[in-house]
Amino acid sequence: MGTASDLKVVMAREQEVSPFPTAEERSQDRQRKREALLRAAVRMFNERGFHATTLEDVANSLGVTKPTIYHYFGNKENILLECVERGLSELSAAAKAAHKEGDRGLDRLKAFLIRYAEINMDDFGRCVIRTADEQLSPEGRLRFRAAKADIDRALRAMIEDGVADRSVAPQRDVKLAAFALAGALNWPARWFDPKGPGSPEAVARTLVEILLDGFKPQPEPRAGD
């Protein structure tokens, strides 16, 4: 007959080989599945458009049923909102990170714009650019516009900081300058080909360098010129 010590050893071994996942493992598994569904959906939204994509399309691409998607997200608009909010969150994080880049406003502006362009060439940033307000419910539209307005204000502030420290040329209209930069860097979301010769990083850097040439202060004319 085994001792109490022997019984504890047997119980410990049984716990080690338990076929049941822990709470942490279940949470990680749920998150992986949710992320896979989100990635499949955002890529279809970007390729086909929101209205042309059905939940059956998304489910079939992963070999699951439509009720599985309802279980994780509820409905198609919830998926779209999460996609655009993920992209906007990445842009917001890029704006905050840019404040640590260099001592000059121009350096921080350049760092943000490069990351801005890179994000817009990735899945969730591309979805932000390709999503029109009218595709969302009134509540979703308000959330979407508010988040985009925050990004716009951050960009304007960086331009103003550069003008203040004279690393950026004075602007006739900071709002229009911000619109011009953002508009130019939104377009790669539509024409960039991930299978093409240029990486997102290289394309972003080249575009930003071209754009910012016009924002650099011009040297003062010398006397007699």
Domain locations along the chain = 18-74, 83-216
Q: How far apart are CA 142 and CA 138, in angstroms?
A: 6
Would you call 37 helix, strand, or coil by DSSP? helix
Would you call 69 helix, strand, or coil by DSSP? helix
Contact 43, 123 (CB under 8 A): yes
Give me the pLDDT at residue 178, please: 95
Instruction: Say what angle helices 105-120 and 76-98 make with each other, to 10 degrees.
Output: 160
Is pLDDT above 60 for 21? yes
- Do domains 18-74 and 83-216 share one topology? The answer is no
Contact 152, 131 (CB under 8 A): no
Q: Under the phi-then-psi rule, with left for phi > 0, alpha for psi from -120 to 50, and beta for the rest, what region is 101?
A: beta
Give me the pLDDT at residue 120, please: 94
- What is the overall mean pLDDT for the chain? 86
Is CATH 1.10.3720.10 what the domain over 18-74 is classified as, yes or no? Answer: no
Give me the pLDDT at residue 98, please: 93
pLDDT in tens, 170-215: 998 999 999 999 999 999 998 988 888 889 999 999 999 999 988 8
Give how far Cα 221 sits from Cα of 51, 169, 212, 218, 225, Å.
56, 15, 21, 9, 6
The two tokens of residue 8 are: 């504890």
Q: Which residues of 141-178 are buried (b: 16+ CB within 10 A; e: fewer)?
A: eeebeebbeebeebbbbbbbbbbeeebbeebeebeebb
Which of 77-86, 107-116, 185-194 is most confident? 107-116
The two tokens of residue 157 are: 């502030």
- At the top level of CATH, which class does the domain 83-216 belong to? mainly alpha
Place of tokens 């390709």: 130
